[in-house]
Amino acid sequence: MKELEKKELDFLLNSIRDIKDFPKQGIVFKDITTLLNNKEAFGLLMNHLHDRYKDSKIDFVAGIESRGFIFGSALATKLNVGFVPIRKKGKLPFTTIGAKYSLEYGVDEIEIHTDAFRDIEHANVLLIDDLIATGGTANAAVNLIKTAKANCVDACFLIELRFLEGVKELLKHTSVYSVLKI
């Protein structure tokens, strides 16, 4: 599968703004809004992901709330497949299945509709989000996809924070592609 050249990777990385001490002291937040409002950067990213996945026989793209919705719906359109939102508990209107995951101080839960994959037996699903840090949400999302009797063929992230090793556990369940590794 096609990889981006260093010049392209640098362009994408430089289109993301760092916000120091957000949401709390000591955190450097990666603000992707500056990539999204840069048509060249967003176009480069979407074209790259389309080229990477266009021959992968994907039936659906599933995006994790909320920034995964942006990348996921844009990519699903380019791939001509359906988009499935993975949302926080209580946000979807129909019957759902959920998966819990650990946070620093507690537990949270994400859900999908029970009919998210439209009764396509063993649907091939690409999971996408903007960032993987510790991997808790991504692992829960892969478990949701499996519980819904679909196959997560790959988990894709714009940014991987390598020092947090979130990909390590995820690789036990699916392949992972991170555009930018920080």
118 tagged catalytic: no
- Confidence (pLDDT) at 180: 98
Residue-range domain boundaries for the chain: 57-181
The confidence score (pLDDT) of residue 165 equals: 94
Catalytic residue, candidates 8, 65, 67, 165: 67
Question: Is 67 designated active site?
Answer: yes
50-77 pLDDT tens trace: 999 999 999 999 999 999 999 999 999 9
Question: How many Å apart are CA 89 and CA 92, to the nearest integer?
Answer: 8
126 touches 80 (CB < 8 A): no
Neighbouring residues of 99: CB distance < 8 A, sequence distance ≥ 6? 109, 110, 111, 140, 141, 143, 144, 147
Confidence at residue 51, expressed as pLDDT on a 0 to 100 scale: 97
What is the pTM assigned to this prediction? 0.96
Residues of the chain short of pLDDT 50, as ranges, are none
CATH architecture of the domain formed by 57-181:
3-Layer(aba) Sandwich (3.40)
Q: Which residues pair with 29 in a beta bridge?
A: 19
